[in-house]
Amino acid sequence: MDMEYQETYHGQQIVVTTLKAGTDAWKAKAELLDAGHRIPVGEMGDGYPSEDEAKRAAIAAAVGAIDRARITRGKP
pLDDT digits (tens, 9 = 90+) for 1-19: 789 999 999 999 999 999 9
More confident residue, 71 or 8: 8
**In terms of Cα–Cα distance, which of 33, 32, 55 is closest to 44?**
55
Partners of 70 in the beta sheet?
none
Domain count, the chain: 1
- Rounded to whole angstroms, the Cα distance separating 46 from 53 reads 11
Tell me the DSSP string of 2-64: -EEEEEEETTEEEEEEEEE-SSS-EEEEEEEEETTEEEEEEEEEEEESSHHHHHHHHHHHHHH
pLDDT digits (tens, 9 = 90+) for 37-55: 999 998 887 789 999 999 9
What predicted TM-score, i.e. pTM, was given to this entire model? 0.86
- Domain housing 39: 3-72
